[in-house]
Amino acid sequence: MITLSDIQKIFSTKDGSVHAVDKVNLQINEGEIFGIIGYSGAGKSTLIRMLNMLERPTHGEVVIAGKELSKLSKKELRKARQEIGMIFQHFNLLWSRTVFENIEFPLEIAGVPKEKRGERVRELISLVGLEGRDGSYPSQLSGGQKQRVGIARALANNPKVLLCDEATSALDPKTTDSILDLLVSINQKLGLTVILITHEMHVIRKICHQVAVMEQGKIVEQGPVLDVFRHPQQNMTKEFVKQIIEPEETKESLAQWLQNSEEGKVVRLTFVGKDAERPLITELIRKFNIEVNILQGKISKTLESSYGTLFIHLRGEEPEIEKAVQFIRQEQVELEVIEHV
């Protein structure tokens, strides 16, 4: 569906050349929700803007649905862009137009007859859950409602691809979740390919099939979301994963336990899928002469599975603890002994 080949974007500044995007290669499949994560300045916004030629690559090719975008004429590019919708962090709505008129705007530009425009806009208002707000102006809407207008407008011309540029960064957590649920619903109903960029691992964890991690203009790691969560390879990726499985309060709790615990072991268990709901602790207590203290635990849902982490303190005679550790490993549960945080 989408192929990026050796994409580079170089900006010239007074201090010299800046490689905002540096030899990026990506393959994004049709119907996929593909996340690109990185901190500010990683190059992710520049990268996503090259997918619809708002930024032209200095080198490399962007191929979408078999079309190499940089080789299209202006007329052909305008037509190709109708198949690529885009939503933004700060909504980019027309403040003098109503919800209905904002959604209608791209249809006007495309020359769609008025009667068909109205029919399409009403469909989209229903799709994004804005019934009854078609006559409201952006200033009368909440942040989540504004983003729903932005999504509806981006879908007006029945695009094949939806680009999301930090689409939830300006929203509170509850509203963010509702917008992410809407994007998943749209992806499933319309078979739309969704590419989103973010600096929040929560967004990737909740809705993406695949993820690419960007740092200093390069893709440093990529793969299925669950695989990246389970086995992050790069330090940058490990930092993002820890946002979910080891928030600051977990680090503080573990540090306190490690400092005060003179015997036994503190271990982290990782469960995937149905294993996340197993009564493993009960089995440990029944089989081995050890004390098991649960320090902290969490089950996170990815789009396709569950991912659980549990921190426990095993206390008892060293041989018995070692038997318990071996038992856990034999049960296909990942185990890591925590010695410092």
pLDDT in tens, 103-114: 999 999 999 999
What architecture is the 2-243 domain classified under in CATH? 3-Layer(aba) Sandwich (3.40)
Phi, psi (degrees; rounded to nearest 5) at 197: -115, 150
Assign domain 247-337 to its CATH architecture: 2-Layer Sandwich (3.30)
Q: What is the structure's pLDDT at 276?
A: 58
Residue 161 has pLDDT above 70, yes or no: yes
Across the range 55-79, mean pLDDT stands at: 91
Mean pLDDT computed over 22-27: 95
pLDDT bucket at 231, cuts 50 / 70 / 90: confident
Instruction: Give the lowest-confidence range in 40-54, 91-105, 177-191, 318-332.
Output: 318-332
Q: Rounded to an integer, what distance in angstroms lies between the CA atom of residue 111 and that of residue 256?
A: 65
291-320 pLDDT, tens digit each: 998 888 877 778 877 777 888 889 899 999
Instruction: Report the pLDDT value the prediction gives residue 266, as an integer from 0 to 100.
Output: 85
Which range among 93-102, 123-132, 244-253, 271-280 shows the weakest confidence by mean pLDDT?
244-253
- Predicted confidence band of residue 337 (pLDDT cuts 50, 70, 90): confident
The pLDDT value recorded for residue 329 is 87
User: Are the folds of 2-243 and 247-337 the same?
Assistant: no
What pLDDT is recorded for position 250?
A: 62
Q: What is the DSSP letter of 166?
A: S
* Residue with token string 């790069």: 234
Domain ranges of the chain: 2-243, 247-337
Using alpha carbons only, what angle is made at residue 144 by residues 51 and 205, rounded to the nearest 5 degrees?
Answer: 60
Cβ distance 38 to 222 under 8 Å? no
- Output the pLDDT for position 207: 94
Helix (H, G, I), strand (E, B) or coil at 147: helix
The string of pLDDT tens digits covering residues 194-229 is 999 999 988 999 999 999 999 999 999 999 998 888
Does the structure show a pLDDT above 70 at 253?
no
Check residues 125 and 315 and name the one with the higher pLDDT.
Answer: 125
Is 129 buried (19+), middle (13-18) or exposed (0-12) by CB count in 10 A?
A: middle
The whole-angstrom separation of Cα 186 and Cα 92 is 21
SS3 sequence of 80-143 = HHCCEEEEECCCCCCCCCCHHHHHHHHHHHCCCCHHHHHHHHHHHHHHCCCCCCCCCCHHHCCH
pTM exceeds cut of 0.95: no
Under 8 Å between Cβ of 149 and 99: yes
- The pLDDT tens digits for 186-200 are 999 999 999 999 999
Average pLDDT (141-150) is 96
CA distances in angstroms from 19 to 11, 16, 43, 80, 179, listed in the order given: 7, 10, 9, 27, 33
Confidence category of residue 260, pLDDT binned at 50, 70, 90? low
- Average pLDDT over the chain reads 89
Give how far the C-alpha of residue 195 lies from the chain's centroid of Cα atoms, to the nearest Å. Answer: 9
pLDDT of residue 36: 97
**Does the pLDDT value for residue 247 go beyond 80?**
no
pLDDT of residue 130: 96
Q: What tokens appear for 265 in the block?
A: 């072991």
